[in-house]
Amino acid sequence: MERVSKTYEIVRLPGLFGRRGTEQILDVVTNFTLAVAPGEFVSVIGPSGCGKTTVLFLLAGLRDPTGGTIDVDGRPPREAVRAGVSSVIFQQPVLFEWLTTEGNVLLPLRLRDPRWWFWRGRRRGYLPTVGQLLRTVELEAFAHYYPDKLSGGMQQRVAIARALTLDPRVLLMDEPFGALDEITRDRMNLELLRLYEDRGLTIVFVTHSIEEAVFLADRVVVMSRGVSPRTRSSIVTEVRVDLPRPRQLALKEDPAFFQKVREGRAALREAQMTS
């Protein structure tokens, strides 16, 4: 992302005698520049309403920038998603309640199948791939369960398995574990790190939790609600997390971890003052 901005028209006030009225504009993201290297894990944090989710949606091609340029692996964001280069995981699992776990994970493959009209006959050929993905997220025994029979953590694991069906290189994750209890969240963090390391993924991860951001990431990007007077950007600062991998929960008791969390909290306080 190079000098990216995103503004929304909030309301258009009518002009006199049918003339074009004035606009009230909300600047959500301003002068946002971020380069993520292959295999890097970057977390994005900031106050509510600072534009974290907007940044993720811009990277996913779900929003178009007002200014600046974005590419994902050398492609426009929307094209990268269509090609299976990148995949998005939202705050909620967004599972189809009338499909089983297996059916939800199969869905991207069904939509891409060149002979989708003969899905009944084609489906069987994809089952080994789906079985492997369900084993990866430890849900193979729940392949024929419907979403309402699964816990919140299990539903989010289905969403992760579905996001991996096209073997993406980039995962874009919007607070995927925010609604989970702390114990389940810790387990999901470890599960995500295992997938990240095993598959060599590149991840951009939005979260409200500085502890989660530091535990997962190589870098933490701190955003403000509005433009930082120091950086003239929506980005207040970046915190480099040079903690060793692979990471286990015991790391959270390490003084080095606490130091990085303190750096992140100081940056968040600066972001709040900007807001």
CB atoms near residue 34 (< 10 Å):
17
- 221-238, pLDDT tens digit by residue? 999 988 888 889 999 999
Predicted confidence (pLDDT) at residue 34 exceeds the cutoff of 90: yes
Predicted structure pTM score? 0.88
Nearest to 23 by CA among 65, 68, 66, 53: 66
- 98-111, pLDDT tens digit by residue? 999 999 999 988 88
Look at residue 189 in the predicted model and tell me its pLDDT: 93
Q: Give the whole-angstrom CA distance, residue 56 versus residue 176.
A: 12
3-state class percentages of the chain: helix first, strand second, coil last, to nearest 5: 45, 25, 35
Look at residue 140 in the predicted model and tell me its pLDDT: 92
Q: Which domains are seen in the chain, by residue range?
A: 2-85+168-274 (3.40.50.300), 95-166 (no CATH)
Report which of residues 225 and 242 the model is more confident about. 242
Predicted confidence (pLDDT) at residue 124 exceeds the cutoff of 60: yes
Q: What is the mean pLDDT of residues 246-265?
A: 95
- 41-61, pLDDT tens digit by residue? 999 999 888 899 999 999 999
